[in-house]
Amino acid sequence: MNSTILKTIYFYILELCSGIMAGVSISLGGLAYLCCTSKVVGSLFFVVGLFIVLFFDFNLFTGRICFALDKKPNYIINLVLIWLGNFAGAAITALLLLCTRLEVLQFECSKIVNIKLNDSLISLLLLAIACNMLIFAAVYGFKRGENLLTKGLALFFGVAVFVLCGFEHCVADMFYFTFANAWNIQSFAAILVITGGNIFGGLFMAGVVKLKDKISTTRQTSNL
């Protein structure tokens, strides 16, 4: 086996591992939400999940998909590995937490999951699209922010609002479904639909920003 193949395998292993850590991070945000009796307070503390992801540059599917338009076609392999890694990280975290005294939060989690499973697929899709539009705004604002204040505001408003509104985030739902022990054909279908919505929402916002930048560049050129 030549060195190029070994480097490629090593790279993909790192992508997967980073995805697992992102799944763990978002799960901690989901756990923080479950621990709060106030929905508003819970939505604010959920932000810790994405903060960890961005601080350590972990691979979160809903974040990485937003910038897929700038990547080569084979980037889809990365995205698949990231999604699987997120799933593994979220599931492992949930299963481990069920072995602790925090298992008492399973009842609260089940109420959230039941709302999702009793919803229609079109509703889940639309809520997932809205979710990743806000995730894009949060990540884009965090990366482009000139100082800690602007970065923090972008992160808090983008994430807290989607949680408060009950929008659907595929990785967070991976954690919730596992923690509530609610996996079945319906929940897997829901995750796939939510993933599709997250993909569309992220790519849509990325396309809008690209179009805006192109128009802005054209205007600046025409004014020269």
| Region 198-210 average pLDDT | 94
Which has more confidence, 186 or 148?
Answer: 186
For residue 216, pLDDT beyond 80: no
Please state which of the four CATH numbers 1.20.1080.10, 3.90.420.10, 2.60.120.10, 1.20.120.1630 is assigned to the domain occupying 3-222.
1.20.1080.10
SS (H, E, C) the chain: CCHHHHHHHHHHHHHHHHHHHHHHHHHHHHHHHHHCCCHHHHHHHCHHHHHHHHHHCCCCHHHHHHHHHHCCCCHHHHHHHHHHHHHHHHHHHHHHHCCCHHHHHHHHHHHHHHHHHCCCHHHHHHHHHHHHHHHHHHHHHHHHCCCHHHHHHHHHHHHHHHHHHCCCCHHHHHHHHHHCCCCCHHHHHHHHHHHHHHHHHHHHHHHHHHHHHHHHHHHHHHCC
**Tokens describing residue 123:** 């509703």
pLDDT score at 32: 97
pLDDT score at 116: 97
Which has more confidence, 90 or 144?
Answer: 90
**Residue owning tokens 């850590």:** 21
For residue 141, pLDDT beyond 60: yes
| Region 149-177 average pLDDT | 91
In the predicted model, what is the mean pLDDT of the chain?
A: 92
User: Crossing angle for the helix pair 148-165 and 47-56, nearest 10 degrees?
Assistant: 140
- Could you report the per-residue pLDDT of 81-125, keeping only the tens digit for each? 999 999 999 999 999 999 999 999 999 999 999 999 999 999 999
End-to-end CA distance of the chain: 55
pLDDT score at 175: 98
| Region 167-195 average pLDDT | 97
**Tokens describing residue 108:** 């609260």
pLDDT score at 192: 98
pLDDT score at 4: 82
Q: Indicate yes or no: pTM above 0.85.
A: yes
pLDDT band at 136 (very low <50, low <70, confident <90, very high): very high
**Tokens describing residue 128:** 């997932």
| Region 169-176 average pLDDT | 98
Domain boundaries, the chain: 3-222
